[in-house]
Structure 1
């Protein structure tokens, strides 16, 4: 028995979920238990009692170091849990060393204003009515003044404060009035703060004296956000300003987004995730007409393997974007468009092309698919353009294409093998799944199947819509029984309820069980991290992503 294993009530052994493991779960999943929720939970200190216990045990610095490590290496699919945990260390800690270390490392966790505003909001909620103490004010002020410590970093701050002007009920003006940062006039920060508090006209004189480059940058931002008569716009000149100052969509007045030339300038530096998100808008203004240079520009990006590799887009998220774009209308708002056929084909090709960029886990898989008719009704909670059955087929195909050892079964009257191979298309996988007679979904049966057939699997994955029926055994007990039977002590079970808002199959005290009610663009990374051990052991490293993959629909 490994040192971290404990005796279970059925006589076997399982890995213990200690408070540091619960902290890792909280950061990766948003909850201490074994459930990843698509929708953001309203976080309260009761959601992260492990943090309080660790601090009380004198391990507060270990908590902060964990937060920094996870932030710097990008191990969390979502950032809210990180900011909440930092707020607990800053405002709930009774240990001054923990608070000091938290504030000293604030800039490493809050890398952009969105993070900072989220952190401040959590601090306010955790210590309502207590005001801003000296340490809190100094730490927030230092977040801004750090940008004056190295040459050129003031320009970075200028970009951040103009791109992320306000989030979560906070603005830079609110924060500066409370934090009172004291800038050095010579490094440009004084001019930036004047711009935030007093506006461009008031900041002009100061910037003329101290930093002409910043003045030119703010002038460019003002030019792009100014209200204009669409009939009297120098579109060519504004597009050149975007290129010269490397401005982004958030800098541009919405009224200017009706002009293809503006989008062309933005596309030159736009990340692929953002480009995919804006396909609907660009089509809606008639920019992506068949045979146009803009169509060619976007198709070429989707065909460029190096661009796809650099973007680190999971195939499933490309497929979601393809489905959304193909519908010609968004789920929210009133935006409609005519999909461009060449772009649809390029997106479809990109889906299959990105298979080779998925890093294999080199684990042995058994994927069990719900084949009931309800898998073809409604849409996935978190990906409203995709049906549950189609999502399960696509994710199964990605596994078949990237993992050497994987088997597939369907929940019919009994478990039946599914002939899925990496040479198939999603439609062909869908046809295989639909050909199987329907049966109930019992999440314990994959482990029973593996034991009856003496199969060795590291990971069991169940794809269903919402409900499970006819459960004979507890999945947690059958998983533990399988571990004893096979000798694979850390065999894992993931249950994905595509249309569910919440269910409870995973044993919260078992670090190798995961419930996923719904499935969103972060889902593939959460699964990979869980399978690779980073959610319980903090091992895996992947780049953080602030962009979501949905096509913009409002």
Structure 2
């Protein structure tokens, strides 16, 4: 009997290289498989959290950046105030949702440059919340010049209309005068992303904010160079401490102002920040977040070393569970610190030489202990979870970076996220690796994060229907499935949504699914109409809580 080609058409099991019959909302991913396009707002959120640095296995960094920029501009045209609300939420969330604030600053600059009057009004109100430091303000200003500036004979100049001047002025009016003075003293000058000089004095001259009192009037005059140091230090404590720090000419004097006047490290002359004895004093006074971020510096200059007293005191602080909880340090914060410190290399400025250091074992051990302690306040879901980590070849291509340090491949970071969930859920969670077959995962609740650095994905193609068919074959009843992937699935004989439907029909109709995208590719394996499938971003520091809440519901 001749083969009937119509018999190959099925809505139950369709090869992933074809659309599911009747589905017009599927798009082709970069690997050739068909998946569901994320809507504009989900794609925008992915970009704000993940950014586009490094690209993916299939899509280069430049193309991925261009695609996400178009998504941003489309969203601004559709509903600019909503864009501003979303970027503000991502930027200001605690714990942090994004490893970097630059995507949010770029989106805010785009909202100003391309948005309507309502959008610009929303952006004006958001600027001081999103651009919280001088560095942030310089980044925003540089992006805005590129998007909304005008060409001049010497480069690009910003078009500073009334709305932008008002927004820039609000940066100087948000918080007490001494709070603003503190930010100005920490960094009065910075570089834009394009490498151009940026000065608060120049911004103040553009904005012309109206002072709301004598103290702020003095501050503005001091920044502009019209008020003497003596006048400013009489009414602004931050300026007084800053000027005190600037008179320091020796390491001994620097130690004195740190211990006696509690001068923050950012106020000290740059030359003093290369002195081991100065950082020896700062080990006890800097905030917990600053301590985490400066471990590499302190090791590089010799403050932290094997069996040193400074190392002992740093370890004591890092392993203080109460102090970690008070500082609201999240497991992701410690994970990032551990990976950056353990890398032994950072190059935050591509145009400058890289910094290198030899990690101190005691500090790495303390970071691992801090990582474990930071889970103390998180309650497990009490539900049964299956976690599937995409271990295909594409997951080993892109490198995830933070602060100019390489954190690892996408696969490594996905495994680290799986470890976080395993530590929370313990015996109620099982982890598998998936490519074109299911493999045993090395992840356990006791996995040491150092181990993951040596792990390699199994490689090959991608079939994300396998977590559901594997669980169905074993009659493994779970309340939730979490998938870490780049969504470049293509090799399966059925689509993930079809396999999920089969699992629900045969085993547990109430199973919920979280698809955690590890790259901002713009699509998902989850059907958009399925209310029991949640698309999130895998690098989101709040992912464990998101999974907890969604699976509980």
- Give me the TM-score of the superposition, normalised by structure 1: 0.70
Which residue of structure 1 lines up, in the alignment, with residue 483 of structure 2?
461
Which residue of structure 1 lines up, in the alignment, with residue 296 of structure 2?
280
From 367, 383, 398, the equivalent of 2:387 is 367
What CA distance in whole angstroms lies between the structure 2 residues aligned with 1:43 and 1:463? 19
Deviations 1:86-116 (A, max 9, x none): 444444333x344334424543443333333
Please say if 1:350 is aligned against 2:370.
yes
CA contact (8 A) 1:367 1:460 kept: yes
From 113, 120, 125, the equivalent of 2:141 is 120
Over 3 Å counting, the alpha-carbon distance change for 1:477 and 1:244 in structure 2 is farther
Deviations 1:430-463 (A, max 9, x none): 99x89x9988653321122233334334233246
* SS, match of residue 247 in structure 2: helix
Deviations 1:33-85 (A, max 9, x none): xx9x9989479762324533443xxxx55555555555554464243343344
TM-fit CA distance, 1:429 = 8.8
Which residue of structure 1 lines up, in the alignment, with residue 114 of structure 2?
92
Which residue of structure 1 lines up, in the alignment, with residue 5 of structure 2?
none
Which residue of structure 2 lines up, in the alignment, with residue 193 of structure 1?
220
From 406, 421, 440, the equivalent of 1:384 is 406
Mapping 1:441-480, distance limit 5 Å = 441-454=462-475, 455-462=477-484, 470-475=491-496, 478-479=499-500
From 508, 524, 536, the equivalent of 1:506 is 524
Over 3 Å counting, the alpha-carbon distance change for 1:125 and 1:345 in structure 2 is closer
Question: How many residue pairs were aligned?
Answer: 489
* SS, match of residue 525 in structure 1: coil
Mapping 1:250-269, distance limit 5 Å = 250-269=266-285
Deviations 1:360-393 (A, max 9, x none): 4566432234678999x89943363657776555
Mapping 1:285-434, distance limit 5 Å = 285-315=301-331, 318=334, 321-322=337-338, 325=341, 329-332=344-347, 333=353, 335-358=355-378, 360=380, 364-369=384-389, 380-382=399-401, 384=406, 386=408, 394-403=416-425, 405-411=428-434, 414-416=437-439, 421-423=444-446, 425=448
What CA distance in whole angstroms lies between the structure 1 residues aligned with 2:67 and 2:261? 38
What CA distance in whole angstroms lies between the structure 2 residues aligned with 1:463 and 1:21? 16
* SS, match of residue 217 in structure 2: helix
Which residue of structure 2 lines up, in the alignment, with residue 156 of structure 1?
179
Unpaired runs of 5+ in structure 1?
1-7, 148-152, 535-539, 541-554
CA contact (8 A) 1:22 1:50 kept: no
CA contact (8 A) 1:413 1:437 kept: no
From 221, 228, 234, the equivalent of 1:203 is 228
From 48, 65, 71, the equivalent of 1:47 is 71
Over 3 Å counting, the alpha-carbon distance change for 1:215 and 1:128 in structure 2 is closer
TM-fit CA distance, 1:264 = 2.9
Over 3 Å counting, the alpha-carbon distance change for 1:240 and 1:306 in structure 2 is same
Unpaired runs of 5+ in structure 2?
1-19, 27-35, 151-157, 348-352
Over 3 Å counting, the alpha-carbon distance change for 1:173 and 1:469 in structure 2 is same
Which residue of structure 1 lines up, in the alignment, with residue 254 of structure 2?
238
| RMSD of aligned residue pairs (Cα, Å) | 4.7
CA contact (8 A) 2:304 2:310 kept: yes
TM-fit CA distance, 1:133 = 1.5
CA contact (8 A) 1:379 1:385 kept: no
TM-fit CA distance, 1:157 = 0.9
CA contact (8 A) 1:72 1:108 kept: yes
Over 3 Å counting, the alpha-carbon distance change for 1:141 and 1:44 in structure 2 is farther
What CA distance in whole angstroms lies between the structure 2 residues aligned with 1:38 and 1:514? 23
Which residue of structure 2 lines up, in the alignment, with residue 551 of structure 1?
none
Over 3 Å counting, the alpha-carbon distance change for 1:460 and 1:273 in structure 2 is same
TM-fit CA distance, 1:298 = 0.9
What CA distance in whole angstroms lies between the structure 1 residues aligned with 2:68 and 2:444? 45
Deviations 1:89-146 (A, max 9, x none): 444333x344334424543443333333333334333322272112321232233134
CA contact (8 A) 2:392 2:459 kept: yes
TM-fit CA distance, 1:297 = 0.6
From 202, 206, 227, the equivalent of 1:174 is 202
TM-fit CA distance, 1:407 = 1.6
Which residue of structure 2 lines up, in the alignment, with residue 150 of structure 1?
none
